[in-house]
């Protein structure tokens, strides 16, 4: 971090701290959403030019550092706990989310980056996935904000709808836990819906959700390959894969391995993970500070329509695959 960026980081911190605290009191909404909202409220206020580079740095680089830190709370043994069958469900829901996003985005005439972000947020883990994919594809701050707002809306909806549907159709605790863990995006919403159904369903849904988060790695690499192809076509002989490869994804994997190995005390891993979550709030506050509310309104209902189609596709696919595997 350059010295001239420090002022901008501190400026974003002014909004990130209250946003983080609000997120603790209202976990269904979450700190990142509050960060975006607070940032947007003050986006058009006059501020010193000296903070601009630091705000951009916070919204780009600190966002990547946040994803790396989240790896210290990931345990690779979770994959073994949920078993191969749940991985089949995750793979099919992943395909369904991106397939629905691509087709619906084209039908609605939406920006490619927007459809990619909503697809990633729906397929993997909401805001964290959007935060991870955004720098890989070079998404605009506006697209990040709209995508997170869209995912948030359906997260809240899922907390109320999923338990009702589960009880109506008499799902088992494991079946509902699998459904919630693979079809609801944000971790807090998965936990809320799972434990609203039953304690066992909540515990299983949480494990499935944490395993699903690991899908960030292949998805980011997939988008990196797509971005590299576009860049190679534009740059010709001057293209360098190393330059465009998302190194923060590699560091995220290293963090996961370190945490799984047990080298670090649990308290240290938890602290690093918590710092990662706060860093996402900090980055989202900075993104909000660089987002014009008027430009968001122009997008109308198309992002919500895109999010709804992706959400239904993932929820439906999860049930169909579970039925086929005999899990429901």
* DSSP secondary structure, 169-236, as one string: TT--HHHHHHHHHHH--SHHHHHHHHHHH-HHHHHHHHHHHHHHHTTHHHHHHHHHHHHHHHHHHHHG
2: left (phi over 0), alpha (psi -120 to 50) or beta: beta
Per-residue model confidence (pLDDT) at position 131: 81
Question: Does residue 244 register a pLDDT over 60?
Answer: no
Residue 228: both structure tokens together: 């590299």
**Which has more confidence, 173 or 241?**
173
Confidence band for 238, pLDDT divided at 50, 70 and 90: very low
Q: Write the CB contacts of 272 (distance below 8 Å, at least 6 apart in sequence).
A: 69, 72, 73, 255, 264
- What pLDDT, in 10s, does the model give residues 15-37? 999 999 998 888 777 788 788 88
Neighbours of 42 (CB within 10 A): 15
pLDDT band at 170; cut points 50, 70, 90: confident
The rounded distance, in Å, linking the Cα atoms of 31 and 184 is 18
Mean predicted confidence (pLDDT) in 67-75: 82
Both tokens of residue 324? 């086929």
Residue 233 has pLDDT above 60, yes or no: no
Split at pLDDT 50, 70, 90, the class of 239 is very low
Tell me how far apart the alpha carbons of residues 273 and 268 are, in angstroms, rounded to a whole number. Answer: 9
pLDDT for 107-126, tens place per residue? Answer: 988 888 889 999 998 888 77
145 contacts 296 by C-beta, under 8 angstroms: yes
**What residue has token string 């971005």?**
227
Asked whether residue 299 carries a pLDDT value surpassing 70, the answer given is: no
List the single range of 77-91, 183-197, 224-238 with lowest mean pLDDT: 224-238
Residue 154 scores a pLDDT above 50: yes
For the segment 243-269, the average pLDDT, to the nearest whole number, is 81
The residue among 86 and 303 whose pLDDT is bigger is 303
Pick the more confident residue, 167 or 229. 167
Confidence at residue 245, expressed as pLDDT on a 0 to 100 scale: 57
**Secondary structure (DSSP) of 108-135:** HT--HHHHHHHHHHHHTTTHHHHHHHHH
What pLDDT is recorded for position 143? 86
**pLDDT for 303:** 87
Report d(CA 94, CA 183) in Å as an integer.
10
Average of pLDDT values for 53-62?
Answer: 87
């Amino acid at each position: 971090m350059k010295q001239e960026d420090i002022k901008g980081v501190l400026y974003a911190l002014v909004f990130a701290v209250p946003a983080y605290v609000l997120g603790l009191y209202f976990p269904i909404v979450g700190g990142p959403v509050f960060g975006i909202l607070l940032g947007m409220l003050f986006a058009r206020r006059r501020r010193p030019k000296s903070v601009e580079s630091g705000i951009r740095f916070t919204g780009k680089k600190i966002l990547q550092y946040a994803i790396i830190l989240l790896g210290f709370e990931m345990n690779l043994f979770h994959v073994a706990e949920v078993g191969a069958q749940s991985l089949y469900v995750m793979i099919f829901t992943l395909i369904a989310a991106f397939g629905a996003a691509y087709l619906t985005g084209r039908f609605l005439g939406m920006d490619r980056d927007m459809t990619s972000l909503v697809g990633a947020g729906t397929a993997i883990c909401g805001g964290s996935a959007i935060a991870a994919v955004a720098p890989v594809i070079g998404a605009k701050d506006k697209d990040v904000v709209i995508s997170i707002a869209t995912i948030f809306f359906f997260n809240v909806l899922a907390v109320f709808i999923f338990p009702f549907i589960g009880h109506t159709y008499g799902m088992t605790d494991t079946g509902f836990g699998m459904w919630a863990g693979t079809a609801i995006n944000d971790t807090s919403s998965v936990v809320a819906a799972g434990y609203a159904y039953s304690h066992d369903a909540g515990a299983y849904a949480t494990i499935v959700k944490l395993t699903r988060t690991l899908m960030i790695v292949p998805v980011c690499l997939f988008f990196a390959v797509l971005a590299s192809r576009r860049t190679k076509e534009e740059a010709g002989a001057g293209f360098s894969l190393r330059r465009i490869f998302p190194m923060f994804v590699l560091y995220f994997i290293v963090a996961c391995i370190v945490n799984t190995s047990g080298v670090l005390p649990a308290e240290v891993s938890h602290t690093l993970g918590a710092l990662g979550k706060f860093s996402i709030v900090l980055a989202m506050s900075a993104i909000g500070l660089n987002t014009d509310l008027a430009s968001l309104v122009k997008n109308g209902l198309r992002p919500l329509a895109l999010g709804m189609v992706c959400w239904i596709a993932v929820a439906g696919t999860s049930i169909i695959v579970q039925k086929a595997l005999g899990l429901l």
